[in-house]
Amino acid sequence: MLPYFIANIISLSFIYIGYRFKFNRIALTSIFVLSAIPLIIISSFKYIKVGTDTESYVHYFDKLNNLSATLSMIDKQGEAGFWYLNYLGHFISHDYFIIFLFSSLIITACYFYCIKVFNLKTLSLFTLLFIGPYYFQLNGTRQAITIAIFAISVIFIIKKQPVRYITSIFIGFLFHKSIIICLPLYFIFKGEIKPRKIAVIIFIFLIVVVFFQSFINLASSVDDRYSSYGDQQDSHGGLVVSTFNISLFCWFFLCRVVNIKALANRTFDILLSLYFLGTLVSLLSILLKIDPSGFLRMSIYFIQMSIFLLPMTILSFRDDNTRYIIIFSTVVLMTFYFYLTTKTFSNLTPYKFNPIVEIHDKS
């Protein structure tokens, strides 16, 4: 666990210093780069055993060392963007760190861009690292890229830029097909968020619950890898994560009601509505006892809105003492959640570095 905490602390320290001392635009950009470096290192130079899917990615990287094999993989599975990254990586190094370096650069750039646009500073980065999806890339690299791209897509919904939104979805589709479910969201949320829209979302959710297996069969006809998304188990899938997501939604909604002057705006409502979608997916996972390793991953597209929602709700409290108490409590809770989930899920611990960066004593 220690490498994760060290990387997080170093990264957060740079961002805090940059905003605390009000660096100019150029200096702040440099601070963002410095802040990104420890995160990129820990996500790029991981050992093959860190993350349950890492060995699979390394297998494909070793396999896609020529154009013919790459084109064959694209013809079979699509998602050309990621497989081309594998092929291009071999021009730099034949060690598998390069594909994770490419992926991390994309993911980190996407999230840091979003943090800068929303201007929620250190608290937003803290949320990304401790309860957000940043370290999801250590396990589900392809989908992590797509999820990070969708974080930028949300900015295009808020700014009412349909062409850029559709373009970003297409780019994400080159890495993971699952982002296609986000395509209609612009047309749902481009206007004001009214109760009627929320009612429609709930109605669609109920239809999905009733005809869930039919939707899974339809997705499987497009790509048979999605057949496992409907796998059921004896216990309730992802109960801890789902409960946490639902609890956070309750907090966001309560703050929206209590601090209506600060939070009653289109930006917050869009983010909250997207998070609500993720909450419904989490609820679906509990109700139908679905294997969380598959279907629950879909919720991350929307649950990641906590990166912005949590800081916005905390800052909506004008009383300094109240805000400080909430910040302290939130930091403690997020740190505990990060420790619990990282320690328990996806073989993320113990963290080991790729042997390529190990220092060998020749004496």
For residue 224 the two structure tokens come to: 């048979």
Compute the CA torsion angle 33, 81, 149, 208 (nearest 10 deg).
-150
What is the distance between the alpha carbons of residues 171 and 80, in angstroms, rounded to a whole number?
A: 10
Instruction: Encode pLDDT of 93-122 as tens digits.
Output: 999 999 999 999 999 999 999 999 998 889
| Per-residue model confidence (pLDDT) at position 78 | 86
Instruction: Encode pLDDT of 270-310 as tens digits.
Output: 999 999 988 988 887 777 766 656 667 888 999 999 999 99
Domain-embedded: residue 236: yes
Task: Find the mean pLDDT for residues 320-349.
Answer: 91
What is the distance between the alpha carbons of residues 15 and 33, in angstroms, rounded to a whole number?
A: 10
Domain-embedded: residue 166: no
Asked if residue 303 lies in contact with residue 275, where contact means CB atoms within 8 angstroms, the answer is: yes
Query: Taking 60 as the threshold, does the pLDDT of residue 359 lie above it?
Result: no
Domain-embedded: residue 308: yes
Q: Which domain holds residue 282?
A: 191-316
Q: Give the amino acid at 283.
A: L
Domain-embedded: residue 224: yes
Query: Taking 60 as the threshold, does the pLDDT of residue 86 lie above it?
Result: yes
Looking at the chain, the whole-number percentage of residues with pLDDT higher than 70 is: 88
Task: Find the mean pLDDT for residues 251-268.
Answer: 93
Domain-embedded: residue 253: yes
Domain-embedded: residue 20: no
Of 343, 307, 361, give the one whose Cα is nearest residue 111.
Answer: 307
Question: What is the total count of domains within the chain?
Answer: 1
Asked if residue 71 lies in contact with residue 57, where contact means CB atoms within 8 angstroms, the answer is: no
Asked if residue 314 lies in contact with residue 323, where contact means CB atoms within 8 angstroms, the answer is: yes
Of 328, 281, 331, 324, give the one whose Cα is nearest residue 302.
Answer: 281
C-beta atoms surrounding 128 within 10 Å:
25
